[in-house]
Amino acid sequence: MDNQEIKYLELLSEKFPTIQDVCTEIINLKAIQNLPKSTEHFLSDLHGEYESFLHILKNASGVIKSKIDEIFEYTMTNNERRKFATLVYYPEEKIKLLKEENKDNLNEYYKMTLFRLIKLCKVVASKYSRSKVRKAMPKGYEYIIDELLHGSIEAPDKETYYHQIIDSIIKLGRAEAFIIQISKLIQQLAIDHLHIIGDIYDRGPGPDIIIEKLMKYHSIDIEWGNHDIVWMGAACGNPACIMNVIRISARYGNLYTLEEGYGINIRTMTEFAKETYKENVSDIFHSHTEEFEKDLDIELMGKMEKAAAIIQFKLEADIIKKHPEYEMEDRLLLDKIDYENGTILINGYNYKLKDKYFPTINPNNPFELSEKEKEVVEKLVRSFKNSEKLQKHINFLYNKGSIYKIYNQNLLIHGCVPMDEYGELIIANFNGKYLSGKKYLDYIDKTARDAFYNHDKNAINFMWYLWCGKYSPIFCKDSMKTFERYFLDDKELKKELKNPFYIFAQDENICKKILKEFNINEDEGRIIGGHMPVKLKDGESPIKANGKLLIIDGGLSKPYQKTTGIAGYTLIYNSYGLVLAAHEPFTSTEDAIKNETDLHSTKQIVEKVERKKIADTDIGKELEEQIKDLNKLLEAYKTGQIKQID
């Protein structure tokens, strides 16, 4: 061994100072390698639908209910199992109702429920090491829960001891607390690791609530979606991103997420919209708000949406002119308008505008912000940058997130790996660097971090490009036709063409080529993404390229459910293979607690394999490296190269 290796082993010896310590750890790691692979859950495109999302976490995409049905099929009725499942999902809320139902024999109810919870917990904990389960236990409850989980009621010499623990918990008035804590432990053990493949933000009412939950989650990674990036850019102070956030929030009636969720002051913007558009604005500017909140000021939402859109077009033009490398000159449209006749010249043809009222646009300099618009933008930039909660949430997205992730031989990316019309990886040119494939995505990841942590101006502008640029791997279209969708009737002009990736990646060999680009085993690996809602009702399948590409955007967001025909997907990857769960629409948390309604899911086996062990995973490979190092330390102890510590 060279000096560097000896130094490393000397450091390792501080943690394992004797031969016995080394041997014990090797035995422990070998045992862990032979445990079944733990369960991963993949979800994408949450879009602020916090109630549905939180319920999916609580019921582990239906896994917990399935376990309850298997275990208690012959000892509990269907109604009892449903009630019990609701208790596991919502222990604090449901226990209050059940206490009242069972007030005449409360101690018996507590005893029966604790026994059932322990039995269920034993099953979901069976694939983990005892040490890992103990670490997952709530503080202050570890010893007693550990005894209950690993004791055996069937053993004659343990039966009295086991019952005594349960009786003592009840007599000491701790039954309710134990029921709550064991239920939460079951939820945690049912999902070992969670992958969120983008788009936490926009449309739905509670992205901030989702982030708060994820910040407390035990094991998670996030792949940024385009709707996350636009909020990240807004938090960096990019005014064009901020106006996109304001416009979308108004469009979907979610301005209270900004005001109440993040404490962002939009009063100046609100007053500006009211003053500028005193008359009612066209229906094209409040087409979605009525779907969500009946008590909203619909007209105000429309005025806010239009005001934000016009400011957005001006701000975007400034970025486009500063960055010709973005190749987005086709988005410069305000100077193509004939403001007297209400038409616009595109590709040599004049088209009538659906709305001709532009009080803030100077026809001689259409991209210039008015003085009032400048004031609105400046105040909003300060408010976004000074929102402590927003900055904390975005910092979390950076810490736990990335533009892509490789995990257990799967490439996780919200959108696509950009390709050209010939099926080749596009070569992008930014800052004089010609990049494609993995190197391009690595550049994007670094640049996004430069925007937030180093406040780099070019990087902050690039955040907007990632939101809507034609080579963005999370936008994945040739152009964002916001102006055309608002102001024109021509369907061809409104079309946003998907990146050719979505055509070529239907081919298994193309997917293998992409996997190889990312140094992933092309036979084992697969690409898992979201972003493009799968039209299941029209016969489209989320499983593509012979299982090499999985698109799991099933429409958790309510506006997409008409398109998909379902209410979201969860991909579950356990020791037996891959299972896709398609969810039906969720009613409400209140309904789930009071009436024991659950989120019903239909499961489809994507791939079945010979049962995988931890040794077959990324963690297993890391453990194997640790074992190799420990064996070297063991040899060094035996040969006297390193001395044991007495």
Residue 124 lies in a domain: yes
What is the rounded distance in angstroms from the CA atom of residue 109 to the CA atom of residue 111? 5
Question: Comparing 88 with 289, which gets the higher pLDDT?
Answer: 88
What pLDDT digit, counting tens, does each position of 54-97 carry? 999 999 999 999 999 999 999 999 999 999 999 999 999 999 99
- Per the structure, the count of domains in the chain is 3
- pLDDT band at 161, cuts 50/70/90? confident
Tell me what pLDDT residue 418 has: 97
Task: Answer yes or no: is 117 within a domain.
Answer: yes
Does 156 lie in the same domain as 235?
Answer: no
Residue 293 has pLDDT above 80, yes or no: no
- Residue 121 near residue 153, CB atoms below 8 Å: no
Same domain, 80 and 9: no
Of 264, 271, 308, 268, residue with least CA distance to 286: 308
- Containing domain of residue 250, as a range? 223-468
Give the end of a domain, one of 451, 468, 485: 468
Which residue shows structure tokens 């040794």? 615
Q: Which residue in the block uniquely carries the two structure tokens 């275990």?
A: 71
Local confidence band at 353 (pLDDT 50, 70, 90 cut-offs): very high
Give residue-wise pLDDT tens across range 272-283.
999 999 888 888
Whether 64 is in a domain gets the answer yes
Torsion of CA 397, 400, 405, 408, to 10 degrees: -150
Which pLDDT belongs to residue 537?
Answer: 87
Q: What is the mean pLDDT of the chain?
A: 94
> What pLDDT is attached to residue 150?
81
In a domain, 364, yes or no: yes
Q: Is the pLDDT of residue 291 over 60?
A: no
Q: Examine residue 25 and state whether it is found in any structural domain, yes or no.
A: yes
256 in the same domain as 317:
yes
Residue 292 has pLDDT above 60, yes or no: no
Q: Is 256 inside any structural domain?
A: yes
Using alpha carbons only, give the angle 58, 64, 65 rounded to the nearest 5 degrees.
110
Indicate the SS3 state at residue 624. helix
Q: Do 250 and 107 share a structural domain?
A: no
Residues 25 and 113 in one domain: no
Residue at which a domain ends, from 449, 468, 487 = 468
Gap between the Cα atoms of 147 and 398, Å rounded: 40
Q: What does the pLDDT average to over 550-555?
A: 94
Q: Give, for 516, the enclosing helix (H) or strand (E).
A: helix 508-517
Residue 135 token pair: 């670490």
Inter-residue contact 414 to 474 (CB < 8 Å): yes
At 500 the three-state DSSP class reads coil
Average pLDDT, integer, range 93-111? 94
Query: What mean pLDDT is predicted for residues 312-330?
Result: 97
pLDDT for position 559: 81
Pick from 333, 332, 321, 334: nearest CA to 361: 334
Give me the helix-helix angle, 226-235 and 437-453, nearest 10°.
Answer: 30
Residues 275 and 162 in one domain: no
For residues 227 and 230, give the distance between their C-alpha atoms in angstroms, rounded to a whole number: 5
Q: What gap in Å lies between CA 223 and CA 398, rounded to an integer?
A: 10
**Would 215 be classed as within a structural domain?**
no
For residue range 405-435, what is the model confidence (pLDDT) as tens digits? 999 999 999 999 999 999 999 999 998 889 9
User: Are 20 and 146 members of one domain?
Assistant: no
- Is residue 373 located within the same domain as residue 247? yes
Residues 450 and 344 in one domain: yes
Total count of residues recorded for the chain: 646
Same domain, 185 and 264: no
- pLDDT at residue 307 greater than cutoff 70: yes
Tell me: do 123 and 260 sit in the same domain.
no
Q: Which of 410, 445, 468 is the last residue of a domain?
A: 468
pLDDT at 446 over 70: yes
Give a yes or no: residue 149 inside a domain.
Answer: yes
Residues 229 and 184 in one domain: no
Answer whether residue 619 shows pLDDT above 90. yes
Q: How would you classify residue 246: left for phi > 0, otherwise alpha for psi between -120 and 50, otherwise beta?
A: alpha
Which of 552, 559, 551, 558 lies closest to 585 in space, CA to CA? 558
Answer whether residue 156 shows pLDDT above 70.
Answer: no
